[in-house]
Amino acid sequence: MDRASPTRRPPMSQPAYPPTHWIPANSANYTPSARPEAHPVGFLVIHVTEETFQDARRIFQDPTSKVSAHYMVASKDGYIGQFVREKDIAWHAGNWDYNTRSVGIEHEGWTDRPEYFTDALYRSSARLARAVCDRYGIPPTRAHIIGHNEVPGATHTDPGPHWDWDRYIRLVTGG
3-state secondary structure string across 153-172: CCCCCCCCCCCCHHHHHHHH
pLDDT of residue 56: 98
Residue 106 is among the residues annotated as catalytic for this protein: yes
Partners of residue 44 on adjacent β-strands: 103, 145
Single out the catalytic residue among 37, 50, 51, 106.
Answer: 106
Position 8 pLDDT exceeds 70? no
pTM of the model: 0.91
CATH number of this structure's domain 21-173: 3.40.80.10
The mean pLDDT value for 165-175 works out to 95
pLDDT, the chain, mean: 92
pLDDT of residue 17: 64
The three-class DSSP label of residue 102 is strand
